[in-house]
Amino acid sequence: MSSTEPNIETFKNQYDWFVAASTLDGQRQICTREDFQIVLREDILAGRLRAKDLVRVYKKKGGGWAESTSSLRDFAQQHSKLRAVYEPVWAHAITGCWWGVLAGIGLAMLNSIIIYSKTDPLVAILGASVLAHFIPRFGRNIAMVPFGLLGLMGKMAPVFGILTGMILFAILGAVSGMTIGGAIGWNWEDRLPRAPGAPVEAYVAIKSVVLPLLGSLLLWGVYILVLYPLAMHMAGSPLTFWRTPSQP
């Protein structure tokens, strides 16, 4: 698969990243970022590409090109849709994990709005705008603006609290999402597309469902019983068993 072949050179003139692989029926697939997972996945499921077949990655670097070669199986580990045909249940668990992270961050922001709306409406209003991060294109450009404004106004405690909450809820969401994704993948295991000859996943129920579930129950228990009441107390809205006893 020489880089001097005309079609490779054509791709180099049009793209800054692409991959090439040769199928068992003698065809060569050259794919860009937009379609490589779809094209290679179809060839894997059809048996035209095997796990040991080589994939060459071309990446523009400065004024030249960097080329690397790896087995299809190793290459698939880095890309979710390709990994899913070799480890479908685990891939569902990982996908659920990332969705859980996003949901956790969103929930953290809503929680911060509820808490600070009682003590500092300005913090709640600015914090709410961070949710715009989830709006495509527009959101990412303004997501950090509220934190910068709060910092300039000397409200570092709310900034620290909101960021801490986002990290905490991202972790809670990750283990919860992994549990849900793993359970879905495990339940659908026999119906999920799998590469011909792909080995059965070892201990898939334990690592994709049981361990994430135990971790999720433990972390949520600590949060509900300890961390959330403490956060409410620090924000000025103490819960019953954190409230300072009233003086007679």
In a domain, 248, yes or no: no
In a domain, 247, yes or no: no
Provide the H-helix boundaries in the chain. 6-14, 36-45, 72-76, 80-83, 88-116, 121-129, 138-142, 145-152, 156-187, 204-205, 211-222, 228-234
> Which tokens sit at 198?
């792909």
CB 89 within 8 A of CB 185: yes
Which of 82, 113, 135 finishes a domain?
A: 82
End-to-end CA distance of the chain: 86
Same domain, 58 and 96: no
> Which tokens sit at 160?
């620290």
Query: At 110, is the pLDDT very low, low, confident or very high (cuts 50, 70, 90)?
Result: confident
Which of 51, 82, 113 finishes a domain?
A: 82
Query: At 153, is the pLDDT very low, low, confident or very high (cuts 50, 70, 90)?
Result: low
d(CA 51, CA 73): 5
Same domain, 76 and 93: no
Kindly give, in sequence order, each residue whose CB lies less than 8 Å from that of residue 171, ignoring residues fewer than 6 positions away.
Answer: 104, 219
- Bridge partners (DSSP) of residue 66 are 59
Q: Can you give the residue range of the structural domain that contains 102?
A: 87-242
Same domain, 231 and 118: yes
Cα R_g (the chain), whole angstroms: 24
Query: At 214, is the pLDDT very low, low, confident or very high (cuts 50, 70, 90)?
Result: very high
CB 166 within 8 A of CB 144: no
Query: At 156, is the pLDDT very low, low, confident or very high (cuts 50, 70, 90)?
Result: low
State the pLDDT at residue 57.
94
Residues present in the chain in total: 248
d(CA 112, CA 118): 10
State the pLDDT at residue 248.
47
Alpha carbon 192 to its chain centroid, in Å, reads 21
Same domain, 112 and 171: yes
Half-sphere exposure of 160 (CA within 13 A, CB side): 7
In a domain, 71, yes or no: yes
State the pLDDT at residue 3.
40
Same domain, 126 and 224: yes
In this structure, of 28-42, 79-93, 111-125, 169-183, the range with the lowest mean pLDDT score is 111-125
Mean of the per-residue pLDDT values for the chain?
79
Kindly give, in sequence order, each residue whose CB lies less than 8 Å from that of residue 29, ignoring residues fewer than 6 positions away.
Answer: 20, 21, 22, 23, 39, 40, 43
> Which tokens sit at 14?
């049009």
